[in-house]
Amino acid sequence: MHELAICRGILDVAGAALAEHTPRVAVSSVAVRIGRLTGIDPECLRFYFDLLITDTPLAGAMLRIEEVPIRGLCRACAAEFVIESPAFTCETCGGSAVDLLSGQELQVISLETVEEVCGGD
């Protein structure tokens, strides 16, 4: 359910960007950056993307997902590390005062477009 709402948001952004182009442009791919902390399942997102773009100007576009790891910065020892477990503790000193550096991203990075080839015999 989460992914469906996220996907709609991505399509809103992509659709708005597309509207600024001349009409005859086709989108070949939509690139998004997703932090792991968002809990978004990339496969699920892809599923909804394919479903929702049918019969829209984005039809046929591919969703390219760049996953961003959760990174933390320990306030006690300034160590930077990738957080894999649900508990945010520093792997160097074991401290629990950790600032989040990344992992919450949810951005549309770019749209790749191709000029639509005009029909002709």
Applying CB under 5 A, the residues found at the interface with Zn ion are 74, 76-77, 79, 90, 92-93, 95
Q: How far is the CB of 38 from Zn ion (least distance, A)?
A: 25
Q: Which is nearer to Zn ion, 92 or 104 (CB)?
A: 92
Question: What whole-number distance in Å separates Cα of residue 68 and Cα of residue 26?
Answer: 28
Residues 6+ apart with CB under 8 A from 8: 52
Give 118's DSSP letter: P
Q: HSE (CB half, 13 Å, CA atoms) of 24?
A: 5
Q: Which is nearer to Zn ion, 74 or 83 (CB)?
A: 74
Q: How far is the CB of 105 from Zn ion (least distance, A)?
A: 23
Q: Which is nearer to Zn ion, 6 or 74 (CB)?
A: 74
